[in-house]
Structure 1
Amino acid sequence: MGKYLLVDGYNIINAWPRLKKIGATNLEEAREKLIEDIVEYKHYTGETVTIVFDAHLVKKSRMKKINIKGVSIIFTKEHETADSYIEKRVEELTKNRKNQVRVATSDWAEQQVVLGSGATRISARELNIEMDQVKKKIRIKTEETKKIRSTLEERIDSEIVEKLEKWRRSQGLS
């Protein structure tokens, strides 16, 4: 069974206030911030994630697919919307009934098509809430790891620490 999340990139950018603000002056930077957030999310959740951006108004554009740290980024071809790409991909993925497919968009019409195809939908607001929860869990885990490390350092006898430090230097380790 696979878990898939398809993200309507520009829909999310325009729905999240911080990305919308960035996108008003620099759309590329807003895309990069969204990708950065989604990469972090993907690595925590383990879902297979694809972000789809419209390029349908770009003259003679061809579909462009890149992979950034395990997240697929799709720029659609000329005359193809992110919605139509997502709809086709949902159809492919839901053929295997064991797959769990979610689509992140706040486009009501797209949500209806997605639901009719056997996938579930998650609004931009809901994805933002999930994203915040994931970031909080990552922060907590990082803090716990730091605490464990410092606790171990406190437990080691100072003579052992000194011997280990001498050994490290003799091995040329930094």
Structure 2
Amino acid sequence: MKSIRQDYLLVDGYNIINAWPELIALKDDLEYARDKLIEIMAHYGAFRDYKVIVVFDAHFSAGGEVERKVVRGLTVVYTEEGETADSFIEKKAYALVRYGEKVFVATSDCAEQMLVLGAGAFRMSARELLRDVKRINKAIGDRYTENIQSYRRHELENRLNDDVVKRLDDIRHGRLK
């Protein structure tokens, strides 16, 4: 039995943080900026049905090993010492494409984009990802607003024809014929 194919989104975490205005504003608290990106990607991945992997460089950390953790339904990877997020993403994209998965890579690094295209993955710039995130958030907001308004009040009178409404009103007021 063949397993169901999963679409993947690999996100170059710091590249996206440094490209999105709302995340650039949070760079004084880098941990909060990372958490905000993870939260956004978790919602986006859930809506798009992507398996999301957000990758952060840890190549300046001494003695670090690859750290993976699942947060809010997505995988967060901190690369090992001496490894960049770019190299991790390239290897991961290549491996996933070899297994027949559909892979999207979100980064604005031109060299990275060319490498993942060569591996058979699809590239998505930080600006394209932000535009899609905003479009999806708007669609979700519109759908939520539409649902709230449609559930406000459904009076029976508004859904029945006039003859039935008149007869029910007569019954209610004791004016039976």
Structure 2 length as normaliser, TM-score?
0.82
* Aligned match for 2:22, one of 15, 18, 23: 18
- Aligned partner of 1:167 in structure 2 is none
1:75 matched to 2:96? The reply is no
The root-mean-square deviation of aligned C-alpha atoms, in Å, is 1.3
Task: Flag the structure with larger Rg.
Answer: 2
* Aligned match for 1:100, one of 99, 102, 111: 102
- Displacement of 1:14: 0.3
After TM superposition, the structure 1 = structure 2 runs for residues 130-145 of structure 1, keeping only pairs within 5 Å, are 130-145=132-147
**Cα displacement string for residues 144-171 of structure 1 (whole angstroms, at most 9, x for unaligned residues):** 221232134x559xxxxxxxxxxxxxxx
* Structure with greater helix share of residues: 1
Runs of 4+ in 1 over 3 A off after TM superposition: none
Aligned residues of 2:39 and 2:72 also touching (Cα < 8 A): no
Aligned residues of 2:66 and 2:80 also touching (Cα < 8 A): yes
* Aligned match for 2:11, one of 4, 7, 11: 7
**Residues 1:137 and 1:61: Cα distance change in structure 2 (over 3 Å):** same
1-side partners of 2:153 and 2:69: how far apart?
A: 42
Q: Percent identity?
A: 43
2-side partners of 1:6 and 1:51: how far apart?
A: 6
2-side partners of 1:145 and 1:37: how far apart?
A: 23
1:90 matched to 2:93? The reply is yes
1-side partners of 2:150 and 2:92: how far apart?
A: 44
Structure 1 length as normaliser, TM-score?
0.84
SS for the counterpart of 2:77 is strand
